[in-house]
Each structure stands twice: as structure tokens, then as C-alpha cells.
């Protein structure tokens, strides 16, 4: 019986949670997350300020002609041509969104619900290719349709991914054929 009393006397009560310290840590962590988010947002705005020399995005003509190809998918952003990590954020070009692409004789119409639409005139198109990545998005080899185009005095790469990736090759062929036709017509004149 004495040993039972001794065992009961040796048991300690559970440690009491220090709520003040725990709440302090949670608030500190929340402030850190807010600070990191604010710094990222300021960096995005600063990048937009540095790229403010880009002219306004062209809009589609009133009658661009019949559609040669259409594509429904995702717009993954634009970068400086050849530099797949140098994202362009000016004029909303850095905003990822859904996209409806339409290729006509006049050029490439990019309609983005919830973001700025733009139009790439036929004369501004430089190249179309399949690639695996653009700033913020890396896919399997050939999983991204990249269109290089001239805007102001800069060459830009814009990345698109179709809902049906098998369409990408047809788009590359059609755009590159359009560019070759445009350059041979210009050479003849």
C-alpha cells in the first residue's frame, strides 16, 4: 500500500501550454509571410516600371479575315526572346490566364478572359516553335507553343499550351509558313 502511495506522489501533472509564446510565434510567422508577399509584389511592380518603355499592345483589326486555326488553352506569359526566365510584366503580359488564339491572314489574335487581350500583326511574327518552358512554367519537351514576335524595338516570346497538345505542330507549321510567305512577298516588292 505504501508503494502505491509513493507511485501516486511521484506522478507529475501535465506541462501547461505557454499560450503567450505560441501566439507570439504564430503572429511572427504571419508577419513574415506578409513581408515576403509584399516584397514579391513590389518586385513585380518594379519590373513593370523597368519595362514601361514597351508600347501599348496592338488590338485586333475590325475585320481580320477568316480564321485559319483556333486554339483554346492557357497563356503562360511572355519573356524577352531567347531568355526564357526574363518575364515581361508590362501591359499585363506576365499574367497567366486562359486563352483563345485565332490565326488569320492579318495575324495572331490573343483573347484572354480576365486579362489584357492583344493582337500580333502578321508582319510582327518572327518564329513559332515547340519548347519545354517559359518563365514560371516547365513542361515536357515540346509541350509549349512559343511564338516569337516583335513589339516596339523588342523581340518577345509568348508561351501557349493548348488543351489538346497534338495541335501544337499544326500551329508551328502554319505560323512559320505565314512568316516565310510574308518575307518572300516583301523580297519580291
- Residue-by-residue pLDDT tens, the chain, 189 positions: 555 555 555 566 667 678 888 899 999 999 999 999 999 999 888 877 787 788 888 888 888 888 899 999 999 989 888 888 888 888 888 888 999 999 999 999 999 998 889 999 999 999 999 988 887 777 777 789 999 999 988 899 999 999 988 889 999 999 999 888 866 665 555
Q: Which of 139, 151, 118, 95 is nearest to 87 (CA)?
A: 95
Q: Contact at 8 Å (CB) between 184 and 116?
A: no
pLDDT value, residue 37: 94
Residue 111 sits at the vertex; the CA angle it makes with 178 and 115, to the nearest 5 degrees, is 135
For residue 96, the cross-strand partners are none
Q: Which of 130, 99, 125, 135 is nearest to 114 (CA)?
A: 99
Rounded Cα distance between 113 and 186, Å, is 35
Across 14-113, where does the E strand assignment appear? 69-80, 87-88, 97-104, 107-111
Amino acid at each position: 500500500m505504501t508503494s502505491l502511495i509513493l507511485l501516486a506522489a511521484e506522478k507529475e501533472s501535465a506541462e501547461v501550454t505557454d499560450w503567450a509564446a505560441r501566439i507570439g510565434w504564430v503572429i511572427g510567422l504571419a508577419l513574415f509571410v506578409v513581408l515576403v508577399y509584399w516584397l514579391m509584389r513590389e518586385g513585380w511592380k518594379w519590373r513593370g516600371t523597368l519595362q514601361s518603355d514597351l508600347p501599348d499592345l496592338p488590338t485586333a483589326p475590325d475585320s481580320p479575315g477568316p480564321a485559319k486555326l483556333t486554339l483554346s488553352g492557357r497563356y503562360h506569359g511572355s519573356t524577352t526572346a531567347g531568355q526564357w526566365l526574363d518575364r515581361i510584366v508590362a501591359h499585363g503580359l506576365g499574367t497567366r490566364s486562359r486563352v483563345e488564339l485565332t490565326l488569320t491572314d492579318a495575324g495572331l489574335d490573343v483573347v484572354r478572359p480576365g486579362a489584357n487581350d492583344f493582337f500580333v500583326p502578321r508582319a510582327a511574327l518572327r518564329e513559332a516553335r515547340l519548347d519545354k518552358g517559359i518563365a514560371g512554367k516547365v513542361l515536357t519537351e515540346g509541350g509549349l507553343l512559343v511564338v516569337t514576335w516583335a513589339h516596339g524595338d523588342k523581340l518577345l516570346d509568348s508561351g501557349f499550351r493548348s488543351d489538346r497538345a497534338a495541335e501544337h505542330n499544326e500551329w508551328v507549321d502554319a505560323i512559320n509558313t505565314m512568316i516565310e510567305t510574308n518575307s518572300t512577298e516583301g523580297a519580291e516588292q
